[in-house]
Structure 1
Amino acid sequence: MLLLELKNIVKSAGDRCLFKIDDLKVYSKDRIGIVGSNGVGKTTLLKIMAGLMQPDGGKVVQHRSPSYIAQLDESYEQKDGMNPGIAQQFQIGMQYDKTMSGGEKTRYRLALAFSKDTAFLLADEPTANLDIKGNELVQQKLQDFQGAFVIVSHDRELLDMVCTSIWEIQEGEIKVYTGNYRQYLAKKEVKKAQQAREYENYLAEKKKLEAGAADRRQQAVTMRKTPSRMGNSEARLHKMGNQKAKANLDKAVKAMETRMSQLEIKDKPKSNPKVVFDLVNTDDLCSKMVLRTEGISKVFGSRRLYDQAEFSIGSGYKVALVGDNGCGKTTLMNMILSYPEGIYVAPKVRFGHFSQAIEGLDPGTSILANVMTDSIYDENFVRSLLAQLLFRRDDVYKKVAVLSGGERTRVALAQIMVSQANVLVLDEPTNYLDLPSLAALEAVLAEYKGTILFASHDRKFINSIATHLMLFDSGKLRLFSGNYEDYLQYKQEQKGDSAKEEQLLLEHRLAEVLSKLSVAKDRNSIEHLDKEYRELIVKLK
């Protein structure tokens, strides 16, 4: 069933064309993810589809009215139709309040959207400001959703698990890829490899033609020279005899030049330089343990965040702090940085701290100047790092004042990574980053040889970077060896072991009941045992 059509759509921002769409359709079972760099028009496209914004040209045909979940909308007001059960699932009240946190507002909008009986959903960053449990709940809701949806998201795990089609906005065009986000990336890599082969073939053919033309020009020059031993009459005969050959060579050169001019020019595929951190400043730690805690506690009012927590962080660990919103991840990082009683830090540790406020940048100077301020590396290394973080060529001379939030995040992280710091403490480093920037940051942190403590709700990012997890659970802190995927597998195995143990207990009790039934004579006892027998059979099914 056709739900929506986009025909000959054109949309611009000022004098810049955001995108042009010849013909795109959404059908009843479509599960579409829209991706692209910041500023390419993802939210704009979603608003056009929802009928909240008009295109500059073209036609939008809605065959079914969609439900729309906005990313941030302070004009949002209380609406009817909230399902109490779904509100409870999202841990949100029935009434909207403008004083809610960003995460609470997101959960409210999601709960209201999923409360409606809709067959078509549009969602802009549905996991924004949510913790991992919230992300997983949204994922489950979308997997169970029976209608069609189109989502804009920077959550790669979500795009992998729920999407069957990816729309990519790039350079004013929208390209459609079948499959989830991982399959989209694989197809992009295949295309990139094909472009590389075409570029190499183009260079080889161009070089061959240039060499052939140069060779024939040289032959023509050599033929034009009359040997010095010849007399005048011989020289005239030599010149006349070679005219045809010269003409043929000139013709061959022109033919090759024509072929060169007709060659389809192939651009070299873009690639980022790989940065390898030679962190000599990590070697002077002289300790296998970077920090340890003994019985630390933290209380806010009547709420205890953690009590008598003890853990040790080894040199080279990359520890992801994992827990619900408000569990105390940022608080713990600030405590570690301030060295209170109960926290012991190795003598030669030098912390590099990234906060959500993105402090420490001089807005009046360039990207390069900011990063070079406290760098222990030379400019060539810094420029290579910035290129890998998607600041290429003259981009490094942009003033920080004109940068977006995501760009400032990348600059601040680069500044920390090239400093004397040998332990990085990163509070939500993936905030404001688009998908290309996330991938770039992952590649850089994967090469970083120092110790990292970081808080993030991005499951894919945690899986790519973390060697350990710091789990915040009901006032307890626990260090787990492995990434988030390993932790989920561990929980599943524990759950399986518990289920097996419960089944054994039920089977044992069933045997006892059957034994008692076989000898029971009292009617009340028989009825009671028979009732328990039936209940046990149901539980064992």
Structure 2
Amino acid sequence: MSLINISNLTFAYDGSYDNIFEEVSFQIDTDWRLGFTGRNGRGKTTFMNLLLGKYEYSGTISSQVSFEYFPFPVEDKEVNTIDVIGDIVPEYVHWELMRELTWLRVAEDVLYRSFASLSNGEQTKVLLAALFLKENSFLLIDEPTNHLDMGARSLVSDYLKSKSGFILVSHDRSFLDNCVDHILSINRTDIEIQRGNFSTWWENKQRQDQYEFAENEKLKKDIKRLEEAAKRTSNWSHEVEKSKNGTRNSGSKVDKGYIGHKAAKMMKRSKSIEQRQQSAMDDKSKLLKNVESAESLKLTQLSYHKHQLVELDHVSIFYEEKQICSDVRFTIEQGDRIALSGQNGSGKSSIIKLICGEDITYTGTFRRGSQLRISYVSQDTSHLRGNLTDFARTHGINESLFKAILRKLDFARVQFEKDMGDFSGGQKKKVLIAKSLCEPAHLHIWDEPLNFIDVISRMQIEELLLEFGPTLLFVEHDREFCEQIATKWVEL
């Protein structure tokens, strides 16, 4: 066991006026299984790059261990997988590699195939096995779940639970809950470490948020009372001061010294109340510092003239004479939220393409309602360019609502002026989801919408869907999200 010490860490990118980190200090035990969470764009990958020594910063980072980052870059994917592992860990021991692959349920023949021929899930597992062959290193594991189906996620989570000495960036709550023992969270104004898994951290955060909301309401009442008291006292002192130049009711001459003394006391009391009011406002500014945005939004969906929108009956899909899936049977009815699940390669994307109207070779019966309007969120975000205002106009959606959804999902207003090509992967997916929620549609189809999206935004998207109640067909490997949202499951 040793410690990684971060002291007074301050960092900003060149040309930026805003610090990503400012005077941050904490310690990490190298035996921990540390889950790393925080909103998109808050600096998780930046922090790991600072540990790797990629950027200059002020403050100190001291450690007796080296750092290794996952995923490793693979320059030539056409070489055999065993050669890829040899490039990453030149002095690996073969039986140790086979031990790791066995735990990850990867067959030995994978080693003698080209890396490019492996599925995304197989590639992830192979690179994880190589990572844990590294000795005397603290491992920085950045979003390993993005290409894993639900079964593979469970397997990899159990694998990581048997290890120690890593930081894990993941937005999958079930995945984190199973395999971490501490949480490192980047909040709106600070960084904190707590013992326990994600659910423990989230429960504590909600408790803190509720406390701050209650204190905030109390302070608002105190400020209003103090404002009224200060106003009354100021009026009293003003009236008393005016009476210095007047006369008493009896007609006798005014005692200006007495009146002035009384007015001064009144003014002093007014100033005292004003100072108490300012102090209360200062206290108020310390509250709600890490409470995430929670604006209420009004979303509507088109109503279709029939209850049933789509029907598949004994549908089999073929690609270049190869059968992708067979005997698929389900219907989509208004109000359904259907989770389409299955292993990678089982035909989920092909089913979605068929429903969306692409030219797909199939047998069986497929019916889609006439003039059915579909809003589609694809896995691909590479086409996003330009600013959000032009994007909203191009797609004919309500710009105010579109941006309000993005604000709820933690977009800063300054982000609205930037080119979408410079957005993070999670921010790009949020753009597509916000667009879909704004579109007038009978049916929403989302293909792995949550890749790269931070965990708090995932929960806010859940809240929007449960309140909005759209008809939805979706593919998603985040088990918690599926269990919260799905009214039906279709397993391929």
Tell me the TM-score normalized by structure 1.
0.75
Query: How big is the shift at 1:180?
Result: 1.0
Within 1, Cα distance between the matches of 2:367 and 2:341? 22
Deviation per CA, 1:419-447, whole angstroms, max 9, x where unpaired?
22110111111123222332332222222
Deviation per CA, 1:237-282, whole angstroms, max 9, x where unpaired?
3545423322221221122233334443423635321224343x22
Q: Which residue of 2 aligns with 1:126?
A: 144
Gaps of 5+ in 1: 473-541
Shift in alpha-carbon separation, 1:272–1:38, aligned structure 2, 3 A: same
Shift in alpha-carbon separation, 1:226–1:151, aligned structure 2, 3 A: closer
What pairs up with 1:297-336 in 2 under 5 angstroms? 297-301=316-320, 303-336=322-355
Deviation per CA, 1:146-204, whole angstroms, max 9, x where unpaired?
x3332122222111112221111245742112221111112112222222233233333
Query: How big is the shift at 1:374?
Result: 5.3
Matched, 1:406 2:420: no
Q: Which residue of 2 aligns with 1:445?
A: 465
Within 2, Cα distance between the matches of 1:173 and 1:312? 48
Do the aligned residues in 2 keep the contact of 1:17 with 1:172 (CA within 8 Å)?
no
Structure of larger gyration radius:
1
Shift in alpha-carbon separation, 1:394–1:102, aligned structure 2, 3 A: same
Give the letter for the 1:91 counterpart.
V
- DSSP-derived class of the 2:20 partner: strand
Q: Which residue of 2 aligns with 1:206?
A: 223
What pairs up with 1:102-501 in 2 under 5 angstroms? 102-114=120-132, 121-145=139-163, 147-170=164-187, 173-226=190-243, 230=247, 234=251, 236-263=253-280, 264-267=282-285, 269=288, 270-279=292-301, 281-282=302-303, 285-301=304-320, 303-338=322-357, 342-358=365-381, 363-364=385-386, 366-371=387-392, 381-391=401-411, 395-396=415-416, 398-472=418-492
Within 1, Cα distance between the matches of 2:112 and 2:188? 42
Query: How big is the shift at 1:41?
Result: 3.1
Within 2, Cα distance between the matches of 1:119 and 1:165? 18
Q: Which residue of 2 aligns with 1:504?
A: none
Do the aligned residues in 1 keep the contact of 2:244 with 2:259 (CA within 8 Å)?
no
Query: How big is the shift at 1:468?
Result: 1.4
- DSSP-derived class of the 1:78 partner: helix
1:84 to 98, 109, 119: 98
Within 2, Cα distance between the matches of 1:330 and 1:429? 13
Q: Which residue of 2 aligns with 1:70?
A: 70
Give the letter for the 2:170 counterpart.
S
Do the aligned residues in 1 keep the contact of 2:182 with 2:195 (CA within 8 Å)?
yes
Deviation per CA, 1:364-388, whole angstroms, max 9, x where unpaired?
4x42453355557x66544543433
Identity of aligned residues (%): 26
Within 1, Cα distance between the matches of 2:243 and 2:252? 6
Shift in alpha-carbon separation, 1:303–1:237, aligned structure 2, 3 A: same
Shift in alpha-carbon separation, 1:357–1:123, aligned structure 2, 3 A: closer
Within 2, Cα distance between the matches of 1:125 and 1:360? 22
Do the aligned residues in 1 keep the contact of 2:402 with 2:438 (CA within 8 Å)?
yes
Do the aligned residues in 2 keep the contact of 1:426 with 1:455 (CA within 8 Å)?
yes
Query: How big is the shift at 1:69?
Result: 4.9
Within 2, Cα distance between the matches of 1:136 and 1:311? 27
What pairs up with 1:19-98 in 2 under 5 angstroms? 19=21, 20-28=23-31, 30-49=32-51, 56-62=58-64, 68-71=68-71, 73-75=73-75, 77-79=84-86, 80-81=92-93, 83-88=97-102, 89-91=104-106, 93-94=110-111, 97-98=114-115
Aligned-CA RMSD value: 3.4
- DSSP-derived class of the 1:236 partner: coil
Do the aligned residues in 2 keep the contact of 1:224 with 1:239 (CA within 8 Å)?
no
Q: Which residue of 1 aligns with 2:89?
A: none
Within 2, Cα distance between the matches of 1:241 and 1:10? 59
- DSSP-derived class of the 2:62 partner: strand
- DSSP-derived class of the 1:246 partner: helix
Gaps of 5+ in 2: 77-83, 87-91
Within 2, Cα distance between the matches of 1:430 and 1:231? 78
Give the letter for the 1:351 counterpart.
I
Larger RCO (CA under 8 A, 6+ residues apart): 2
